[in-house]
Amino acid sequence: MKTLRLILGDQLNLKHPWFNDVDPEVTYLMAEMRQETDYVTHHIQKVVAFFQAMREFSNELKEKGHQVIYLQISSSDNPQALDEIIQNNIEKIKADKFEYQWPDEYRLDQQLIQICQDLSIDSEACDSEHFFTSRYELKDFFEGKKQLVMESFYRMMRKKHDIMMVNGQPDGGKWNYDQSNRKKWKGDPEIPHERGFRKNVTSLVEEIQASGVNTIGTIAPENFNWPTSRADTLSVLNYFCKNLLIHFGDYQDALHTDQYYLFHSRLSFAMNSKMISPKEVIDKVLDHYYEHTDQIHISQVEGFIRQILGWREYMRGIYWKEMPGYKDKNELDNHNKLPDFFWTGDTKMNCLHHAISQSLETSYAHHIQRLMITGNYALLTQTHPDAVDAWYLGIYIDAIEWVEITNTRGMSQFADGGIVATKPYVSSANYINKMSNYCSSCHYSHTKKTEDNACPFNALYWNFLDEKKEHFQNNQRMGMMLNLLNKKDKKELAALKERAQQIIAHPENF
Q: Are residues 373 and 500 in the same domain?
A: yes
Q: Are residues 45 and 24 in the same domain?
A: yes
**Domain final residue pick, 273, 292, 317:** 317
Nearest residue to 236 (alpha-carbon basis) of 281, 300, 189: 281
- pLDDT at 179 (0 to 100): 83
The per-residue pLDDT for range 203-214, each reduced to its tens digit, is 999 999 999 999
- pLDDT at 181 (0 to 100): 84
* Residue 83 within a domain: yes
Q: Are residues 69 and 163 in the same domain?
A: no
- The rounded distance, in Å, linking the Cα atoms of 247 and 297 is 9
How many domains does the chain contain in total?
A: 3
The per-residue pLDDT for range 83-140, each reduced to its tens digit, is 999 999 999 999 999 999 999 999 999 999 999 999 999 999 999 999 999 999 999 9
Q: State the distance between the two ends of the chain, measured CA to CA, in whole angstroms.
A: 64
Assess whether pLDDT exceeds 90 at residue 146.
no
- pLDDT at 194 (0 to 100): 86
Written as one letter, the residue type at 306 is: R
- pLDDT at 505 (0 to 100): 97
Mean pLDDT on 175-199: 89
- pLDDT at 195 (0 to 100): 87
Helix, strand, coil shares, percent, the chain, to 5 = 50, 10, 40
Q: Are residues 361 and 446 in the same domain?
A: yes
Nearest residue to 406 (alpha-carbon basis) of 375, 427, 434: 375
* Residue 323 within a domain: no
For 67, half-sphere exposure in the C-beta direction (CA atoms, 13 angstrom radius) is 11
CB atoms within 10 A of CB 46: 25
Q: Are residues 241 and 184 in the same domain?
A: yes
- The rounded distance, in Å, linking the Cα atoms of 387 and 317 is 23
Question: Which residues lie below 8 Å from residue 43, measured CB to CB, with a gap of 6+?
Answer: 215, 216, 217, 359, 360, 363, 394, 395, 396, 397
Q: Are residues 118 and 239 in the same domain?
A: no
**Domain final residue pick, 277, 294, 317:** 317
- The rounded distance, in Å, linking the Cα atoms of 102 and 106 is 10
**Domain final residue pick, 260, 285, 317:** 317
In the predicted model, what is the mean pLDDT of the chain?
A: 96
For residue 356, is it left (φ>0), alpha (ψ between -120 and 50) or beta? alpha
β-strand partners of 5: 28, 99
What CATH number should be reported for the domain holding residue 487? 1.10.579.10
Q: Are residues 80 and 186 in the same domain?
A: no
Q: Are residues 56 and 102 in the same domain?
A: yes
Assess whether pLDDT exceeds 90 at residue 147.
no
Q: Are residues 36 and 93 in the same domain?
A: yes
CB atoms within 10 A of CB 87: 17
Q: Are residues 16 and 38 in the same domain?
A: yes
What CATH number should be reported for the domain holding residue 262? 1.25.40.80
What CATH number should be reported for the domain holding residue 59? 3.40.50.620
Assess whether pLDDT exceeds 90 at residue 252.
yes
Render 147-186 in DSSP notation, one character per residue.
---HHHHHHHHHHHTT-SEETTEEGGG-S--GGGS-PPP-
Are 432 and 422 a contacting pair, CB within 8 Å? no
- pLDDT at 205 (0 to 100): 98
* Residue 384 within a domain: yes
Q: Are residues 398 and 485 in the same domain?
A: yes
CB atoms within 10 A of CB 487: 8
